[in-house]
């Protein structure tokens, strides 16, 4: 969501963070892999062709990169990381702690995090409503 607004380097760094989020609790679930693939498609063909799904060597270096980015970029990145973590069937505390570390590093308030999460639930509800309407035809 909104990943196309990022620069090439921001997109690559975002994907590094995304891989860390889905890997923190072991192997990526089928849903996490599907969301990652959708995000990879959203960042564009140029990134898709060169990106490999592997962990970056230094998570803190990636976080430091984003600390220096505009607030809008940090919000977009956290929004998409939250999306990855919220919609699989398992709640993992390690994933939660990593996301909270990202939020604090990015200097994003708890109120803003709640607002971003609300957007994700609205998106999910809209998709479900659209699915039901289409099936009812």
Q: What is the mean pLDDT of residues 11-15?
A: 89
Q: CA-to-CA distance for 48 and 39, rounded, in angstroms?
A: 10
Q: CA-to-CA distance for 60 and 113, rounded, in angstroms?
A: 21
b/e for 108-129, b at 16 or more Cβ within 10 A? beeebbeebeeebeeeeeeeee
**CB neighbour class for 16 (10 Å; exposed up to 12, middle 13-18, buried from 19):** buried
User: pLDDT tens digits, residue range 83-130?
Assistant: 888 866 666 788 889 999 999 999 999 999 999 999 999 998 998 999
b/e for 62-92, b at 16 or more Cβ within 10 A? bbebbeebeeebbbbbbbbbbbbbebbeeee
Q: What is the mean pLDDT of residues 56-69?
A: 88
102 vs 31, more confident: 102
Q: Map residue 69 onto helix, strand or coil.
A: coil
Q: What is the mean pLDDT of residues 33-48?
A: 75
Count CB atoms within 10 A of the CB of residue 6: 22
Q: Give residue 78's pLDDT.
A: 97
Q: Could you give the percent of the chain with pLDDT greater than 70? A: 87
Residue 51 has pLDDT above 70, yes or no: no
Residue 27 near residue 66, CB atoms below 8 Å: no
Q: Give residue 126's pLDDT.
A: 94
Q: What is the pTM of this model?
A: 0.85
Q: CA-to-CA distance for 77 and 63, rounded, in angstroms?
A: 11
- Domains with residue ranges and CATH for the chain: 3-136 (1.10.3680.10)
Q: Give residue 39's pLDDT.
A: 79
């Amino acid at each position: 969501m909104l990943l196309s607004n990022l620069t090439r380097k921001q997109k690559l760094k975002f994907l590094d963070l995304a891989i860390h989020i889905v890997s923190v609790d072991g192997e990526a679930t089928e849903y996490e892999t599907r969301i990652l693939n959708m995000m990879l498609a959203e960042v564009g063909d140029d990134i898709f062709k060169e990106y490999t799904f592997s962990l970056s060597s230094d998570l803190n270096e990636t976080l430091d990169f984003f600390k220096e980015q505009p607030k809008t970029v940090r919000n977009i990145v956290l929004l998409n990381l939250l999306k990855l973590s919220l919609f699989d069937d398992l709640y993992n505390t390690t994933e939660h702690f990593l996301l909270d570390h990202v939020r604090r590093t990015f200097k994003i308030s708890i109120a803003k995090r709640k607002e971003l999460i609300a957007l994700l639930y609205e998106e999910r509800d809209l998709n479900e409503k659209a699915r039901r309407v289409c099936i009812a035809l």
